[in-house]
Structure 1
Amino acid sequence: MSTMANQAARGLPAFYCREEPHAHNGTLLGFWIYLMSDCFIFASLFVSNAVLGTRYAGGPTGAQVLDLTGLAWNTALLLLSSVTFGFAMLQIRQGNKRAMLGWLTVAGLLAAGFVGLEIHEFADMIAMGAGPGRSAFLSSFFALVGTHGLHVSVGILWLIVLMTQLGRHGLNSANIRRLQCLSMFWHFLDLIWVGVFSYVYLVGVLR
């Protein structure tokens, strides 16, 4: 028995028995507002890094600890992940669930590779004595890059849950809406990484 039928059977007034449609644009607008609030978080972390980026406290400088080779691999993985996520979204119009899930799997694996390389970089830095407690520069670096990596990790978990829902229920309106929100989140993290790549690493090496 449907929710409306259950409510009617309990003798509830008619206005309680109406099922309100889900506001599609309302969900996307709400998610845009969330992304704007996330922008403020990252903006504050970028400002902190700009202020503290040369406070080495006698410790290593950016040129001594930042690995540009690893940065190139990390950037390539994240950008390719964004491209493959875009390919997955293109499959929605064709209704090809199998191809879409395949592209989403590739996107998730590339993002997982990004997080893995980032963890490896952090572990190497800590092993050489360049942990977040060594200087204000390193504290700001770990805070900014670590916050971005945490967001990517949350995105991967979200992707896994959503792929499970897609496998069970297919491309219904709710899942398409969730995919659109995740796609916005995914590409937003790419834009943030471009800022990290350009300012924190490249400028940090030249300071």
Structure 2
Amino acid sequence: MATKIAAGAETLLWHHGAEGHDTISARTLGFWLYMMSDALIFASLFAAYGVLDNPFNAAGGPIAQQVVHPLEGFWQTIAVLGSVLAYSLATVALKNGSKIGVVHGILGAIVLAVVFLGFEAHDLLGLIAQGDGPQRSGFLSVFFMMIASHGLHMVFGILWMLVMLVQVARSGFTGDVVARLLNLRLFWQFQASVWVCVYVYVYLLGGF
């Protein structure tokens, strides 16, 4: 199936070969393996948090109810889901061959991701300022590790989007560019899924 990318130009984005596999999807196998390893990392962090989330590991420091604020986490959730929605609109524009639509969608995703990181940085820096940094207790160590690990993934995603903006502007919708855009979509949706788990497991269960 050919998708138009410019007046008078076409590229085969989801072309099925003799084995029935489209060439774009075939390139994502390695990326899926990376995503599986990433899922194992976050699963380990959730397991560690579940073990250390009790008063005995607070070491005289704050417990979950004193650290997390469900309302602030709710606004972070809105921001990250809005960012995923914006990138999904960029994907729709990609299928329609609209370069300006892709650019606008990615820019919207970046802005909302920066808002999310602003909330996250405000929370962590506030804890450090009041003397409740990761070195205070085992509980705070795993809490900071979980939130910071997700934040670093978000920063990487933003940098990836900035690179893709340049590639879309310079090269258009070539096969390589489209494959990277689709992999980025998977990565971004995965980060949103991880954050929803963090919000439910850490902010909702820990905050009440």
Please indicate the TM-score interval, normalised by the length of the shorter structure.
0.7 to 0.9
Gaps of 5+ in 1: 1-22
Identity %: 40
In structure 2, distance between residues paired with 1:68 and 1:42: 20
Contact 1:53 1:140 in 2 (8 A): no
Provide runs of 4+ in structure 1 moved above 4 Å: none
Counterpart of 1:46 in structure 2 is 46
Contact 2:110 2:161 survives alignment (8 Å)? yes
Deviations 1:40-86 (A, max 9, x none): 00000000000001121111111112122221111110000001110
Aligned twin of 1:65 = 67
Equivalent residue in structure 2 for 1:80, among 79, 82, 91: 82
**What is the TM-score with the length of structure 2 in the denominator?**
0.86
In proportion to residue count, which structure has more strand? 2
- In structure 2, what residue type is equivalent to 1:25? S
Q: CA RMSD in A?
A: 1.3
Instruction: From 117, 121, 124, give the equivalent of 2:123.
Output: 121
Query: Is contact 1:48-1:140 (8 Å) kept?
Result: yes
Larger helix share, 1 or 2: 1
Aligned residue for 1:203, secondary structure, equals: helix
2:20 alignment counterpart = none
**Distance of 1:124 and 1:43 partners within structure 2:** 26
Q: Report how far residue 26 of structure 1 moved.
A: 3.3
Q: Any unmatched runs of 5+ in structure 2?
A: 1-22
2:25 maps to a residue whose letter is: N
Contact persistence 1:65–1:130 (CA under 8 A): no
Instruction: Say which of 132, 141, 144 aligns to 2:146.
Output: 144
Could you tell which deviates more after superposition, 24-33 or 105-114? 24-33
Give the aligned length.
Answer: 185
Alpha-carbon distance, 1:171 to partner:
1.2
Q: 1:30: Cα distance to partner?
A: 1.0
